[in-house]
Amino acid sequence: ETGVTQSPTHLIKTRGQQVTLRCSSQSGHNTVSWYQQALGQGPQFIFQYYREEENGRGNFPPRFSGLQFPNYSSELNVNALELDDSALYLCASSAGQVTDTQYFGPGTRLTVL
């Protein structure tokens, strides 16, 4: 059974640029959630996708957007990058219920200069 994978591992962007992060969910999971973890803080919920539709969103601006594909993999897109977007971005997959256990990938470290 393959766990949650994310790509790339690290990337560096400059302010104003756009970035796409990718996540492959664990086998059998149809729900993907994205989190932002700033240095020294707990993860903050960005949004969740269930069967290709957005199914909940945290307190993040519209320049944070996402997609989920028929194979349940997902992308997180961030436009007009700001310095404060520098963080570890975590993807988690689950079987679909609200309180189901979420299984996390290793994360993508984004640095915005």
Partner 1 sequence: AQSVTQLDSHVSVSEGTPVLLRCNYSSSYSPSLFWYVQHPNKGLQLLLKYTSAATLVKGINGFEAEFKKSETSFHLTKPSAHMSDAAEYFCVVSDRAYGQNFVFGPGTRLSVLP
For partner 1, the binding residues (CB under 8 A) are: 4, 31, 33, 35, 41-45, 48, 50, 55-56, 58, 90, 92, 98-99, 101-107
17 vs 41, beta carbon nearer partner 1: 41
Closest CA to 28 of 97, 98, 93, 104: 93
Q: What is the dihedral of CA 79, 85, 90, 95, to 10 degrees?
A: -50
Query: What are phi and psi for residue 85, nearest 5 degrees?
Result: -75, -10
Give min distance, CB of 95 to partner 1, in A. 13
Q: Is 105 exposed, middle or buried (0-12, 13-18, 19+ CB in 10 A)?
A: buried
Give min distance, CB of 6 to partner 1, in A. 8
User: CA–CA separation, 88 vs 111, rounded Å?
Assistant: 9
Give min distance, CB of 80 to partner 1, in A. 24
Give min distance, CB of 33 to partner 1, in A. 7
33 vs 74, beta carbon nearer partner 1: 33
17 vs 29, beta carbon nearer partner 1: 29
12 vs 17, beta carbon nearer partner 1: 12
> 74: how many CB neighbours lie within 10 A of its CB?
25
